[in-house]
Structure 1
Amino acid sequence: MSNYIKKDLEYIYKIGQEVIGKTFYEIFGDQCFKFNNKGGIGNIVQSLLYNVPINSRSESDFIEEGVELKVIPFKEIKSNILVPKERMVLNLINYEKVVKESSFETSSFLNKNKVIQVIIYLHEYEKKWYDFKIINSFMIDITKQKEIETIKKDWLTIINYIKDGKADQLSERLTQILGACTKGKNKESKVKQPFSNIKAMSRAFSFKSSFIKYKVNEIKKNSIKYFNEIFIDNLREKNYTINYESIIGNIKKLIGVDLIKFTQDSKIKNWRNLAIKKYISFTYPNLLKDCETCNIKIIVKKLKYNGTIQEEIGTNYMLDINEMVEEKFIDSTFYQEVVLKKFIIIGIDCNNIVSKVFSFKFDESNIKNALKVYNDTKNKIIVALNKENKEMLRINFVKKSDNLTLHIRPKAINAKDTYKNGKYKLENQPKQCFWINKEELIEV
């Protein structure tokens, strides 16, 4: 039987449902002005909406109910397309203590984060925080999700790195869903680790933004379903894990497939993408969902006669000048949506047959290049914003010839599609997108 009693959790869930569609000012009124937001919107919601004192304890925020509260921002990256602005940071990793924990099931991580009440608000750079609107709220038991075995595997990966004296080598790239993100003011925020004399960056457990995005899209359809799951035993699929290597393996099995057989109209612009999606959905029903959950992007590209990729690889992430001005590289949506993403490229030959499969993941060298691109772009935007005459202004962003893994080039709908909206404006600058240099791809 579940240890949770429905009536004990229902009031937490219902309060969250009641504030959907309201701004923080509409909820809290002039109490908003008592806060300078230094402690974060989450602390404000915790103390004002739920009357729970701000704390840093190892137990859940709602101790008696065993529920953790998380308030997270989403942002609009394209018209009506919302993504998490950042990862969901959970509890701090105490290197000395976690290595003494005997299992995932009895871990301090699960003790604090098993059931989470999530409140999502829309972050808009041009607005004050109290004018942000709450757009979703739900309660979820992570042990009832089919991804729990992958989360457990990620937890073990992190713990084993610490046990091996390699806490200083931890990276969000090592895991699929549960990450170990840096936690501290800067690179100097280092602490002792138990099995090495090398100090390690302070880190916290966190759910990656791709997992949050996938769950939110699922929950939009039926929020009450996830709440009711908390009280049902033996719900999740047993031994279901998501593995990047197995996804690559299944994609490689597409080699030799004739896409013409999987389309009704080869004249439409994106028919190859639709045919690939149709084939994968039929052959591997969970694969596309797993890719979405674990931040894996499948891209279809035509090959030249010599078997090389014909075009550069679009990340589909548009340059956000508001983000560039205000966010640090490691905390940016760009970092979550591009740098931590894994890319699988399916190569189609001139006869529309799947001929090759390529992959790309940002390694340490690529990340250093991405940081250079990010900072270069940030600096150029700030300089441009400070110029008095912006009428004829065009920024020379990083080019492919700079050999920095990524480059930036226009992806505007038309000449009028510029940075004319938002907190920071460059009305004559066409919208730009990040692209991966095709030479970075590795055939698998």
Structure 2
Amino acid sequence: MPYLYDANSKESICDFARMLEDSCVAEALDTNAMYGGMPIGEASIEWDKEYSGKGGFGQYLEEVYFGKRNNSLSKADFEEAGLELKTAPLKKLSNGEVRAKERIVLGLMDFMTIVHENFDTSHFIAKNIDILLVFYFHDPLKEYCNLGIPLVDIWNCIQEDEYQIRKDWEYIVNKVQEGRAHEISEGDTLYLGACTKGATKETAQRMQPYSPLLAHARAFCFKIQYVNHIYQILLDRKKDRFVSYIHMLNSPGNELEQIVKNKFLPYIGMNVLMICTLLKIPFKLKSKNFYAMVTKRILGAEDTQQIYEFEAADIQIKTIRIEPNGKCKESMSFKQIRYEEIIDQEWEDSDFYVELTSKFFFIVFKHDHPEDPYILDRVLFWNMPETDLQVVKQVWLDAQQKISSGNYENFVKSSDRKIAHVRPHATDSSDVMRTPQGTYEKKKSFWLNRNYIMEILNNN
């Protein structure tokens, strides 16, 4: 049977892959008259082979649809065309929104050799400069051949986001060069992350070149936040939708954090009402998006515009209010726990982990007297260190286990001093959420302890 695509051409491979769009593998195979167990590649494919695990659908697609035998080589899947194939599972939220289910893993990191690489000639670039992305809806009840595929396209991260991808790669590699591979955290960077690999910490320890300490094995990945951004950008292009973005990083050499801080500098020391007056925006403190709106306006974006870097990295804008006694007014809340979903999640794919490994942008207000208006004291960027993430992981695992067993009363408390805790996050007693047990419980969230927030401010 002849090839149905030119293995030397990105465009040909992509056109062949786009036959999957708004369809599934079974329908595309039928359309292309590829049924009957006839491979289209040079390798003989085992058509009754079973595929499983996180990479199961990707392996299935590569062999059954593209006729290429799976391998673990550090070269691109379509080597002649310089095109890497990646599948990206999606999930639908209860409000109808579509979100990435997990990060896109881009290859294991070899601590011993990566310290001698430079970005432009790195293994990462050689393998991942052009990626054929096949987005599909995750559904454990369906066979791979019937999974819906809403979007297929090529993403070139260098063409789209070279400055930040390069900066993220260099930051990760610099940590290894400094003998601090054991301190790498996925929250260190914005788009390109370094996720852990290995089933357990004990079996996933690796030597690093400039330290006697072992470090957890890691792989480069597109962070979940960035995968969501890629999906939205490509979907908008497919549907010819125009979204107005403003870019903070307009030229090499600029640092996002410093650019943002410089924009806020003229407003330091002003009270909130004065800031709103200068920005010509309504003073609505109780509005959920009030501070996000203030941030957008200070950074030069209109209401209808998006700040590209904040969207691509899903930077978490959080306000902190300091009382006259010098202490933080309250703990910091996060999204409500989806009881029916958390029991099936793994820590590093969980909603809370995704939030905590985002970059945070803290807007700090304070006042010297209870009757005085809050004034803008300072702004800062922050991400949670790996050591603290491991502490919070135990809080998350505790909550997951208790929800699985139907115990909704004995979560970790703030007084336990474990960085985070769980408590109600509902409008009233009738604001409830369905549980895995089929009952309804008051909505709860994870919170970062206010004492921990004060430690962050004191250390920055």
Confirm or deny: 8 A CA contact 1:262 1:275 kept in the other structure.
Answer: no
Distance 1:93 1:186 in 2: 17
Distance 2:452 2:381 in 1: 9
Aligned pairs (5 A) from 1:65-76: 65-76=81-92
Distance 2:443 2:48 in 1: 36
1:313 aligns with 2:328: no
- Deviation per CA, 1:303-339, whole angstroms, max 9, x where unpaired? 6455654443222x23233543233323434312234
Partner of 1:92: 108
Match among 419, 439, 442 for residue 451 of structure 2: 439
The 3-state SS of whatever aligns with 1:377 is helix
1:61 aligns with 2:80: no
> Structure 1: which amino acid aligns with 2:276?
L
Aligned pairs (5 A) from 1:193-232: 193-223=208-238
Cα 1:304–1:198 change in 2 (3 A) is closer
Match among 397, 400, 416 for residue 375 of structure 1: 397
Partner of 2:171: 157
Confirm or deny: 8 A CA contact 2:51 2:59 kept in the other structure.
Answer: no
Partner of 1:330: 348
Confirm or deny: 8 A CA contact 2:190 2:358 kept in the other structure.
Answer: no
Cα 1:297–1:58 change in 2 (3 A) is same
State the 1:246 CA deviation: 4.5
Distance 1:273 1:379 in 2: 35
Aligned pairs (5 A) from 1:383-398: 383-384=405-406, 394-398=408-412
Match among 270, 273, 276 for residue 259 of structure 1: 276
> Structure 1: which amino acid aligns with 2:181?
A
Partner of 1:139: 154
Partner of 2:189: 175
Partner of 1:110: 125
State the 1:71 CA deviation: 0.5
Q: Percent identical across equivalent pairs?
A: 26
Partner of 1:280: 298
Indicate the larger mover: 16-25 or 133-142: 16-25
State the 1:288 CA deviation: 3.4
Higher RCO (CA 8 Å, separation ≥ 6 residues):
1
Partner of 2:3: none
Cα 1:301–1:172 change in 2 (3 A) is closer
Confirm or deny: 8 A CA contact 1:395 1:429 kept in the other structure.
Answer: no
Query: TM-score, normalization: structure 2?
Result: 0.77
> Structure 1: which amino acid aligns with 2:332?
I
The Cα RMSD (Å) is 3.6
Confirm or deny: 8 A CA contact 1:184 1:202 kept in the other structure.
Answer: yes
Distance 1:406 1:245 in 2: 29
Aligned pairs (5 A) from 1:355-434: 355-357=377-379, 360-384=382-406, 394-412=408-426, 415=430, 417-419=432-434, 424-434=436-446
> Structure 1: which amino acid aligns with 2:401?
N
The 3-state SS of whatever aligns with 2:87 is strand
Distance 2:7 2:59 in 1: 25
Distance 2:24 2:427 in 1: 32
Cα 1:365–1:62 change in 2 (3 A) is closer
Distance 1:125 1:263 in 2: 50
Confirm or deny: 8 A CA contact 2:168 2:190 kept in the other structure.
Answer: yes
Confirm or deny: 8 A CA contact 2:19 2:28 kept in the other structure.
Answer: no
The 3-state SS of whatever aligns with 1:64 is helix
Cα 1:192–1:358 change in 2 (3 A) is closer
Distance 1:58 1:77 in 2: 35
Partner of 2:252: 239
Distance 1:396 1:24 in 2: 46
- Deviation per CA, 1:182-215, whole angstroms, max 9, x where unpaired? 2222212233334444443322111212222222
State the 1:284 CA deviation: 10
Confirm or deny: 8 A CA contact 1:172 1:180 kept in the other structure.
Answer: yes
Partner of 2:309: 290
State the 1:60 CA deviation: 0.5
Query: TM-score, normalization: structure 1?
Result: 0.80
- Deviation per CA, 1:263-304, whole angstroms, max 9, x where unpaired? 554468417336404522427999932223234211345664
Partner of 1:15: 16
